[in-house]
């Protein structure tokens, strides 16, 4: 998942988590998604309480690449910086709007790109750290500032005088003689203003502004409640015997988690953000498995962290806002600027995948039930019906029987640092010629964070990357990429990009050993990172990953393919103690097994994507009351003919952060749409010789460096040479008909 961020006038969209993403992403924030707010009175130039010299956000960082001075940033700095940043930007924007000279591209569009520098600095740091290293004080700031930011955004985008200047230029665009990138920037600004409601009447603007403000607050409430529910939902185990099946490292981590919560002598199984939890694959105690699964699925249903009422309020407001803006429903509004363009197109591609996925999942379920029955017969015990909390464990057993291995045999061969340096970095160097040098002289926001400087083959610097791989209670679940500084030649700025994962941290002195899936996630998020790092554009709004969600996941999913490349695997699949290569027989089994379980994996995702789309196609009058949310969810899945009891959606509605606070509203399908592009590109690379510098340079030049300087569908066709084809995706997932 990639969590996008926008600069200047638009950064507050990302800050409010309006239309983002990623998986990731946390999800990507798109330029055009209206956030929430009411431009009651624009911010004034009132002086913030802190003195400029005392607040690290009041001036540009003097560190290399303008890396934020994390060692000088305190919670008390955020709100004064937000207030000053908003006041400064309003003053800058008003100067543009009231300019008596005729509008030109430079004095209006470029001038808007230059506004809000202080606000961008504080927003970048605050919203990144609030997700990855948040505190109670930061959550209070978030609740206070998000509606203010939304009001601030509307005060700009609903300003009639400002829009008149932008629209005048847009109407004259054919006569302006703009270069391609500048023309694209003008198009983006026109779309952003119109989609924000700039053409509405004054009365409707006020209505829209109030909706936006409420949505901003509700999104924050949803995110915070899910974070609390995930933390509070952790399962406490009294007896270590109930943890049978877990590795000693996992048991130690559970003990450490209990100590951190002041539960000495006990064990805590913390929850991940998804429905199915990783430990379900290993726990042999069926009652504990059921407890973990139910703790996961009941998040947000009842208690102080209940989200059902918040869900209904968000859906109601989104539906009403879409209607006010002239759209049939929120899905139609959200998708018109995406690569997919319409709900019908999204529905079509999801069904193309869902049908074979459901069929394969049912075959997998039959095999798993047979394994359960055989085990019970051998043990002379009563068998039981396959339930969702049994799937991971018995699927692993079937896979082990079929392919002759399990994850416990594989993990010793994937040690984190080796995977990073000899795999992720190695592939990037082979493809793009870049090198990575660790910088331990720069401040970080947590001791686990590592910083690397990225350089071209000729030694020219590109930027900095920050890697934050370990899970902690203060970190939001999932994996995502974001930036602290966006590349933009307009400001002479090079990128500072961060990757976040949630790998359980082992006890002190123990190695960090990864599953094959965790290794794949590292490659995935690094694909996002490369997309942001290689950006080579002039304007912040078009920079890096500031592209639609259904395109932003393309480079990340494409980058996953290098994990399976023989040269990369030979580098990283080595035993963490001996350095010996993974036996070829085991490696062959691992690779051969990759399409096993594709029915489950594809179906759980498709269920969530179709659930998202269905929620956002509802008219306001059709949205259920809070106590009917879960029943309506089941009705939606049944109506879509993909409900299958042993395979729950990857996210249930009550903790589906992607769509209620992560910016993927009506856009969770984006991973599948993007994967079509990724697998097509993989086929192109295979046909052209694979892991070569020539191929990498072509992909970098036509995709990774371009941001949104052209529309994504055009960029893809420029690279691939034709329209997308779903066949390589179905083949990659083992879903194609034989």
CA angle 303, 304, 307 (to 5 degrees): 85
Q: Token pair for residue 706?
A: 């371009």
Q: What six digits make up the tokens of 568?
A: 């990369």
Between CA 19 and CA 435 the distance in angstroms is: 33
Question: What phi, psi does 665 have (nearest 5°)?
Answer: -60, 125
525 among known catalytic residues: yes
Closest CA to 212 of 14, 8, 33, 22: 33
Candidates 234, 231, 213; CA nearest to 223 is 231
State the DSSP H helix or E strand holding residue 345, giving kind and residue range, or none if neither. Answer: helix 343-379
Contact 209, 220 (CB under 8 A): no
Question: What's the Cα-to-Cα distance from 730 to each of 403, 673, 675, 679, rounded to whole Å?
Answer: 22, 12, 10, 9
Phi and psi at residue 543, to the nearest 5°: -75, 145
User: Cα separations (Å) of 88 from 44, 52, 82, 118, 125?
Assistant: 8, 13, 10, 8, 18
Question: What are the counts of helices (DSSP H) followed by strands (DSSP E) for the chain?
Answer: 28, 7
* Cβ atoms within 10 Å, residue 328: 13
Q: For residue 462, give Cα distances in angstroms to 60, 112, 433, 554.
A: 19, 26, 12, 22
Selecting among 92, 190, 525, 607, the annotated active-site residue is 525
Distance CA 534, CA 25 (A): 19
**CA dist., res. 632 & res. 437, Å (int):** 52
Extract the tokens encoding 348: 């079509």
Q: How far apart are CA 607 and CA 636, in angstroms?
A: 10
Q: Which helix (H) or strand (E) holds 469?
A: strand 461-470
Residue 315's φ and ψ, nearest 5 degrees, are -65, -40
Burial class (CB in 10 A: 0-12, 13-18, 19+), 362: middle
Q: Enumerate the H helices of 622-726 as residue ranges.
A: 629-639, 657-660, 670-687, 693-699, 712-720
The number of angstroms, rounded, from the C-alpha of 159 to the middle of its chain's C-alpha atoms is: 31
Find the helix packing angle between 202-232 and 308-324, rounded to 10°.
160
588 Cβ contact partners less than 8 Å away, ≥ 6 residues apart: none
Q: Where does 86-224 show beta strands of DSSP type E? A: none
N- to C-terminal Cα separation, the chain: 32
Q: Could you tell me which residues are beta bridge partners of residue 2?
A: 23, 481
Neighbours of 379 (CB within 10 A): 9
Using alpha carbons only, how large is the chain's radius of gyration in Å? 25
Q: How far is CA 64 from the centre of its chain?
A: 27
Q: Cα–Cα distances in Å, from 658 out to 24, 307, 320, 691?
A: 8, 14, 21, 33
* Sheet of strand 461-470: strand arrangement: 435-438, 450-455, 461-470, 496-503, 480-485
CA dihedral sign, ordered 422, 425, 427, 432: negative
Q: How many residues does the chain have?
A: 738
Write out the DSSP string of 216-229: HHHHHHHHHHHHHH
How far is the C-alpha of 512 from the C-alpha of 247, rounded, in Å? 12
Catalytic residues: 525
């Amino acid at each position: 998942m990639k969590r996008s961020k926008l600069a200047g006038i638009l950064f507050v969209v990302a800050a409010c988590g309006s239309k983002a993403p990623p998986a990731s992403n946390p999800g990507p924030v798109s330029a055009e998604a209206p956030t929430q707010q009411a431009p009651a009175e624009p911010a004034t130039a009132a002086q913030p309480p802190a003195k400029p010299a005392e607040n690290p956000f009041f001036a540009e960082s003097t560190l290399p690449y303008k890396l934020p001075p994390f060692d000088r940033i305190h919670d008390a700095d955020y709100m004064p910086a937000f207030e000053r940043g908003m006041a400064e930007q309003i003053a800058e924007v008003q100067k543009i709007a009231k300019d008596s000279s005729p509008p030109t591209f430079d004095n209006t569009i470029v001038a808007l790109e230059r506004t809000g520098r202080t606000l961008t600095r504080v927003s970048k740091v605050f919203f990144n750290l609030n997700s990855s290293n948040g505190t109670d004080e930061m959550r209070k700031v978030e609740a206070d500032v998000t509606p203010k930011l939304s009001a601030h955004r509307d005060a700009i985008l609903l300003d009639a005088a400002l829009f008149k200047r932008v629209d005048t230029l847009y109407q004259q665009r054919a006569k302006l003689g703009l270069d391609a990138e500048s023309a694209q920037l003008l198009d983006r600004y026109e779309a952003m203003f119109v989609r924000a409601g700039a053409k509405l009447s004054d009365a409707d603007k006020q209505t829209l502004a109030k909706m936006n403000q409420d949505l901003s607050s509700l999104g924050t409430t949803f995110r915070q409640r899910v974070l609390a529910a995930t933390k509070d939902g952790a399962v406490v185990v009294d007896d270590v015997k109930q943890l049978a099946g877990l590795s000693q490292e996992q048991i130690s981590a559970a003990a450490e988690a209990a100590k951190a919560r002041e539960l000495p002598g006990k064990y805590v199984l913390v929850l991940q953000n998804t429905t199915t939890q990783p430990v379900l694959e290993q726990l042999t105690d069926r009652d504990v498995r059921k407890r973990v699964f139910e703790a996961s699925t009941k998040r947000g249903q009842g208690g102080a962290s209940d989200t059902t009422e918040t869900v209904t309020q968000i859906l109601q407001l989104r539906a009403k806002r879409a209607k006010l803006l002239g759209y049939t429903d929120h899905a139609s509004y959200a998708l018109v600027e995406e690569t997919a363009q319409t709900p019908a197109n999204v529905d079509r591609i999801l069904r193309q995948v869902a049908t074979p996925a459901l069929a394969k999942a049912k075959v997998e379920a039959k095999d798993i039930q047979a394994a359960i029955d055989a085990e019970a017969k051998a043990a002379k015990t009563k068998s039981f019906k396959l339930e969702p909390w049994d799937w991971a464990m018995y699927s692993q057993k079937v896979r082990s029987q079929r392919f002759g291995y399990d994850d416990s045999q594989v993990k010793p061969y994937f040690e984190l640092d080796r995977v990073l340096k000899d795999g992720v970095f190695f592939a990037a160097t082979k493809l793009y010629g870049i090198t990575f040098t660790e910088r331990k002289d720069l401040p970080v926001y947590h001791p686990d964070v590592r910083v690397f400087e990225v350089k071209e083959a000729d030694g020219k610097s590109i930027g900095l990357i920050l890697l934050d791989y370990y899970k902690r209670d203060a970190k939001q679940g999932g994996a995502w990429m974001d930036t602290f500084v966006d590349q933009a030649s307009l400001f002479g700025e090079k990128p500072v990009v961060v990757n976040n994962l949630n790998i359980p941290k082992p006890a002190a002195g123990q190695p960090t050993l990864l599953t094959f899936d965790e290794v794949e996630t590292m490659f995935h998020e690094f694909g996002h990172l490369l997309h942001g790092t290689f950006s080579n554009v002039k304007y912040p709004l078009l920079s890096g990953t500031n592209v639609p969600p259904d395109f932003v996941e393309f480079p990340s999913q494409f980058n996953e393919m290098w994990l399976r490349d023989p040269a990369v695997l030979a580098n990283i699949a080595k035993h963490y103690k001996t350095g010996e290569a993974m036996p070829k027989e085991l490696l062959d089994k691992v690779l051969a097994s990759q399409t096993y379980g594709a029915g489950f994996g594809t179906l759980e995702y498709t269920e969530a994507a179709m659930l998202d789309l269905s929620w956002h196609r509802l008219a306001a009058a059709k949205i259920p009351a809070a106590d009917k949310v879960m029943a309506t969810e089941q009705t939606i899945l049944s109506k879509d003919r993909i409900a299958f009891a042993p395979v729950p959606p990857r996210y249930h509605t009550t903790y589906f952060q992607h769509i209620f606070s992560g910016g993927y509203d009506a856009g969770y399908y984006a991973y599948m749409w993007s994967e079509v592009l990724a697998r097509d590109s993989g086929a192109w690379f295979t046909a052209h010789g694979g892991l070569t510098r020539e191929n990498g340079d072509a992909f970098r030049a036509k995709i990774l460096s371009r941001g949104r300087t052209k529309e994504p569908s055009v960029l893809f066709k420029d690279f691939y040479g034709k329209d997308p084809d779903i066949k390589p995706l179905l083949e990659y997932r083992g879903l194609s008909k034989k």
